[in-house]
């Protein structure tokens, strides 16, 4: 491994060496796997930076797979991530872009769940896109390695390809942010311990779906929109990038709440985001930064997945506001218990 300290910067390799220590084989395997994912991120950052010079990255390759379309960059991202993970101590990979999990080395100790390219609808608009990943121990059964509750995660992260390329990472000791130095190719530590403010005046939701929401979500958003004169007594701002990695990073920096509830559209009743490789890593990052994440019925990280591509409603961000959303489904707010997003098993139910 090459030198890991330059100009007093703490590089990703140094951070992971400190995490792994000398005799912790599992932590060393996690560190090697994070470095492999960071390597894929470097290549993807360079590819994204080329934009149309790299070809028609937004070209549709496969339509309506699991209700989602696949674009050229989705598949290129998948191939790059799998290529890098093949050289890491990874037994099996579950990717949004593959119908079934891919076995790389059945004797290896780790499993990786990954969304190689989050926000692909933004490819041609030059808005931030990213990669989301989780790392798990394989455990006793390889075929169940990717169906563990999110609380079993050893590490999770996201890589944002935007004005800066950022790696947001947790190995279970807080959430840290690294920035890619394009001059050296190093990921350097920018924020040692990100902390989500407990309170917020910003919310992120796709308001075009308002007519499909349940009553509790409509009431919550409606009260936010009433501003300082309304029951919340605050003027709220709306933010929506349509790239969850970008919304998540904004929340890590200045607080906020992100809502992608289930609604009454066909295929959306159980939510739209994937539990294993989208909701779980985001929830782990948020909790490690003092935030919260729920599906409305309980803590995201406590859900035992049934399938690799299982969908789930997701609300995450500033802890006080996540709790406040849940109150709109309690008797005190006349929300009732019939909501597809929140119910009588809500994590924050009094």
Residue 193 has a CB neighbour count (10 Å cut-off) of 12
206 is in an annotated binding site: yes
Q: What angle do CA 194, 255, 341 make, to 5 degrees?
A: 115
115 is in an annotated binding site: yes
124 is in an annotated binding site: no
Instruction: Choose the catalytic residue: 16, 47, 104, 117.
Output: 117
121 is in an annotated binding site: yes
φ, ψ at 81 (rounded to 5°):
-65, -45
Tokens, residue 7: 């100009």
Tokens, residue 299: 């803590």
142 is in an annotated binding site: no
Tokens, residue 9: 């910067």
Tokens, residue 132: 């989301």
Distance, CA of 266 to CA of 180 (rounded, Å): 41
Three-class SS of 172-208:
CCCEEEEEEECCCCEEEEEECCCCCCCCCCEEECCHH
346 is in an annotated binding site: no
Instruction: Choose the catalytic residue: 13, 96, 186, 247.
Output: 96
Return the closest-CA partner of residue 295 out of 266, 258, 332.
Answer: 258
Chain centroid to Cα 236, Å, comes to 24
Active site residue 180: no
Active site residue 167: no
How many Cα atoms are found within 13 Å in the side-chain-facing hemisphere of 30? Answer: 26
End-to-end CA distance of the chain: 52
Active site residue 72: no
118 is in an annotated binding site: yes
119 is in an annotated binding site: yes
99 is in an annotated binding site: no
Active site residue 100: no
Active site residue 223: no
Chain centroid to Cα 320, Å, comes to 20
Instruction: Choose the catalytic residue: 37, 44, 85, 97.
Output: 97
Instruction: Choose the catalytic residue: 44, 47, 74, 275.
Output: 74
Tokens, residue 249: 């990073």
227 is in an annotated binding site: no
328 is in an annotated binding site: no
330 is in an annotated binding site: no
Instruction: Choose the catalytic residue: 11, 13, 115, 186.
Output: 115
Instruction: Choose the catalytic residue: 68, 79, 105, 320.
Output: 68
Q: What angle do CA 150, 152, 156 make, to 5 degrees?
A: 65
| Buried b / exposed e along 260-284 (16+ C-beta atoms within 10 A) | bbbbeeeebeebbbbbbbbbbbbbb
Active site residues per annotation: 68, 74, 96-97, 115, 117-118, 278
Which residues belong to the annotated binding site?
96, 115, 117-121, 206, 258-260, 278
Which residues belong to the annotated binding site for Mg(2+)?
96, 115, 117-118, 278
Which residues belong to the annotated binding site for substrate?
118-121, 206, 258-260
């Amino acid at each position: 491994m090459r030198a890991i300290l330059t100009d007093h910067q703490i590089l990703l390799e140094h951070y992971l060496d400190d995490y792994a220590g000398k005799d912790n084989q599992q932590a060393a395997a996690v560190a090697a796997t994070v470095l492999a994912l960071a390597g894929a991120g470097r290549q993807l950052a360079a590819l994204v930076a080329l934009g149309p010079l790299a070809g028609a990255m937004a070209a549709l390759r496969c339509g309506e797979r699991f209700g989602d379309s696949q674009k050229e960059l989705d598949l290129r991202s998948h191939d790059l991530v799998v290529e890098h993970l093949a050289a890491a101590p990874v037994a099996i990979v579950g990717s949004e872009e593959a119908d079934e999990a891919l076995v790389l080395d059945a004797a290896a100790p780790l499993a990786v769940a990954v969304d190689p390219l989050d926000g692909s609808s933004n490819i041609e608009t030059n808005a931030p896109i990213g990669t989301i990943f989780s790392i798990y121990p394989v455990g006793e059964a390889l075929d169940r390695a990717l169906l563990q509750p999110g609380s079993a995660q050893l590490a999770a992260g996201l890589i944002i390809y935007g004005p800066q390329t950022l790696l947001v990472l947790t190995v279970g000791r807080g959430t840290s942010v690294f920035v890619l130095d394009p001059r050296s190719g190093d990921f350097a530590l920018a924020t040692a311990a990100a902390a989500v403010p407990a309170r917020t005046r910003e919310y992120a939701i796709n308001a075009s779906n308002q007519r499909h929401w349940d009553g509790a979500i409509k009431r919550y958003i409606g009260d936010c929109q009433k501003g300082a004169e309304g029951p919340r007594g605050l003027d709220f701002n709306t933010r929506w990038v349509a790239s969850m990695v970008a919304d998540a990073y904004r929340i890590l920096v200045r607080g906020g709440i992100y809502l992608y509830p289930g609604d009454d559209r066909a295929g959306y009743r159980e939510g739209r985001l994937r539990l294993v490789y989208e909701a779980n890593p985001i929830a782990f990052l948020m909790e490690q930064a003092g935030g919260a994440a729920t599906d409305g019925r309980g803590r995201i990280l406590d859900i035992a997945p049934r399938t690799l591509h299982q969908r789930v409603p997701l609300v995450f961000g500033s802890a006080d506001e996540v709790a406040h959303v849940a109150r709109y489904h309690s008797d005190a707010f006349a929300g009732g218990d019939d909501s597809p997003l929140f119910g009588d098993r809500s994590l924050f139910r009094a």
